A and B are shown apart, each in its own frame.
Chain A
Amino acid sequence: MKYWPYLLAALAVAVLLPLWLAPSGYLIRVLTLALLFAALGQAWNIVGGLANQISLGHAAFFGLGAYTSTLLLINFGLSPWIGMLAAAGIGALAAFVLSFPTMRLSGHYFALATLAFSEVLRVLASSWGSVTGGPAGLSVPFSPDSLLMLQFKSTRPYYYIILAALLIVTAIFVAIRRSALGYRLRAVKESISAAEVIGVDTARVKVIASVISAALTAALGVIYAQLTYFFDPDSVFGIISISIRIALITILGGVGTAIGPIIGSFLIVPLEELANLLLSSRAAGLSQLFFGILLIAIILVQPRGVLVLIRNIVTRARRRKPS
């Protein structure tokens, strides 16, 4: 593949860049968050891109992950790494359970059902105070810098952990896409009825994809909790702040492509920060407004995402060059 040199260069930059930045500074935090959302987008990409199931409720798994590991940590002192395994398990289970009512749904109906599911979890987290801490949220108990407890004072270690996570999730995405499962998912995406005809167990295939996606998302939720030290039901089960954002990042970047979520995240996250930086003190709502207008603009210009947009521009530019 002709992209290898570029990818390696990008990877080198990603690995070396933090060494130049203040280890607890603002820039590294923004980059770390961008990496996290890129990983989340990539996990979503498995269902949204490969299976074409637009889930607007991935926050459900994200939140389940964050709560599972943090509750295990608070109540039993378990390391978040173990918590991550538990979270992945619970996320997978939740996806499995959710697959029953949503089996025959697609398009708008599927999106609405997933949204409702994450809201159910949010209300539960908020009202079951004795277990989840209720609407006040949970604080991760303090521990000195430790890899075992996944807690560090500076942001740099988190950056590398999340970078590794992004690489792992991307590798899983590419592996699925190339595998037999990937072929079957593509068949389902093109036409469910045709896929059934050629013997693809469409239900099983969709469930497997969503289970993998959910497990990864839940694991990332654990990392999020350890990064921010505090979360409440609204921040981890949030529709706009998590679910829609994840889907948006992947779609804007280029749904179904491995690089899409990464492009999308490194576009959206810094842009939101920039808007907040420049506009939020001028007038209330201005930065969000700008963001919404941008979203509409991109959808109107190229609904298939920035990647396609760039490719088109590049192709058009090449055509203009004298050959």
Chain B
Amino acid sequence: MAFIQAVLDGLMIGGVYAVISIGLTLVFGVMGIVNFAQAEFLMLGMFVAYFAWAYLGLDPLIGSILSFIVIFCIGFLVQRTLIQRVMKAPPVAQIFLTVGLLIVIENLALLAFGSSFRSVSTSYQTSSLRIGPLFVSVPYLAAFCMAVLSGFALWLFTDRSWYGQAMRATAQNPLAARLMGIDVERMQQIAFGLGVGLTAFGGAIVLPYFTVNPTVGSQFVVLMFTAVVLGGLGNVVGAVIGGLAVGVIQSLSALLFPIQLQNLVLFLVFIGVLALRPTGLVGSSR
């Protein structure tokens, strides 16, 4: 029974991890860049949703859409002004540009919002449903549902819309895409905006049970990167499966090992996957 509860909890939080990770893998998939600053956009998304709640009274689950839009625009601009310039530079330069971005965003947030932790209060924060002997936390369930909805929306976009298909083409082969008349730079800007926007969305939907402060990004970095690597860098479906897997692994490891070591388990899985199947456990890609 404890096992089933753990799996259930793991899947629900895994859904959120999945949304957060899709963003990271999307950026790598289309542009080949590992964005070390990804978690900072998560933090920004949380702040947007927080202020939407504090000043407009919007529940964070609705505010998350606003987060997505705002961070998408910011991401678009960041790609255009900064990241674009290192697209052709060696990986070293790309890595350190995003590291610099990480430092800048975190400290800008510190200057703008201050260091205190902000939390929202919603009506459902402390409720849960009971299904037999199992507990289902309502905020988790709500976040999971939003995650599923966003996944569906993303699928519609990439599979059914022209922009989505153009993005996939750019990811597969930028030169061919350009020859087909696709504005590759524009696609990369959209992809980056989409990527960080999704991660920001993911941050906003966990706001009901999480607090936000400029340093909150670092708490999700391990999870994001493990999920993405598990699923294969660049593989969106992989990121979903990776996210769910990370949630379940985290949850189950608590049954066997001290909770303090849960990150250790994840790291070892991370290294193991990189060693044995760097392209991820799901299918083959890049």
Contact = CB atoms under 8 A, between A and B. Distances in A.
Interface of A: 54, 56, 100-105, 107-109, 111-113, 116-117, 119-120, 123-124, 127, 240, 244, 247-248, 251, 255, 283-286, 288-289, 291-293, 295-296, 299-300, 303
6 contacts: A116-B270, A119-B222, A288-B107, A299-B89, A303-B86, A303-B89
Max chain B CB contacts within 10 Å: which of A100, A101, A124, A299? A299
A124 B264 CA distance: 8
Given A286-B107, A300-B82, A244 B34 contact: no
Given A109-B274, A295-B96, A289 B107 contact: yes
Contacts of B225: 112, 116
A22 to B, nearest CB: 32
Given A104-B278, A289-B103, A119 B233 contact: no
B274 A119 contact: no
Nearest to A284: B110
A125 to B, nearest CB: 11
A296 B101 contact: yes
A303 B86 CA distance: 9
Nearest to B260: A127
Interface in B79-124: 82, 85-86, 89-93, 95-97, 99-104, 106-108, 110-111, 114-115
B153 interface: no
Contacts of A251: 92, 96
B97 A285 contact: no
A100 B95 contact: no
B271 interface: yes
Given A117-B271, A303-B89, A289 B108 contact: yes
Nearest to B85: A300
Given A127-B264, A285-B110, 18 more contacts: A101-B275, A113-B274, A116-B267, A119-B222, A119-B263, A120-B271, A123-B261, A123-B264, A123-B267, A284-B110, A288-B103, A292-B103, A295-B96, A299-B93, A300-B85, A303-B90, A303-B92, A303-B93
Interface of B: 28, 34, 82, 85-86, 89-93, 95-97, 99-104, 106-108, 110-111, 114-115, 214, 222, 225, 229, 233, 258, 260-261, 263-264, 267-268, 270-272, 274-276, 278
Interface of chain B, main secondary structure: helix
A113 B268 CA distance: 10
Contacts of B34: 108, 111-112
A296 B111 contact: no
Nearest to B279: A109
Pairs A-B, 8 closest by C-beta atoms: A101-B275, A292-B103, A303-B93, A285-B110, A295-B100, A289-B107, A285-B107, A292-B104
- Which one of B102, B268, B271 has the greatest number of beta carbons of chain A within 10 Å? B271
B100 A296 contact: yes
Nearest to B114: A284
Contacts of A299: 86, 89, 93, 96-97, 100
B100 A54 contact: no
B111 A289 contact: yes
A302 to B, nearest CB: 9
Nearest to A250: B92
Given A102-B275, A123-B264, A111 B95 contact: yes
A54 B271 CA distance: 16
Q: Which of B85, B263, B264 has the most CB of A within 10 A?
A: B264
Contacts of A248: 96, 99
Contacts of B115: 284
Given A119-B222, A284-B115, A105 B107 contact: no
A119 B107 contact: no
B274 A112 contact: yes
Nearest to A288: B107
A12 to B, nearest CB: 34
A288 B115 CA distance: 14
Given A54-B95, A299-B86, A300-B86, A120 B268 contact: yes
A108 B95 contact: yes
Contact of A284 (B111, B258, B278): B111
B86 A119 contact: no
A101 B274 contact: yes
Nearest to A120: B267
Contacts of A293: 100, 104
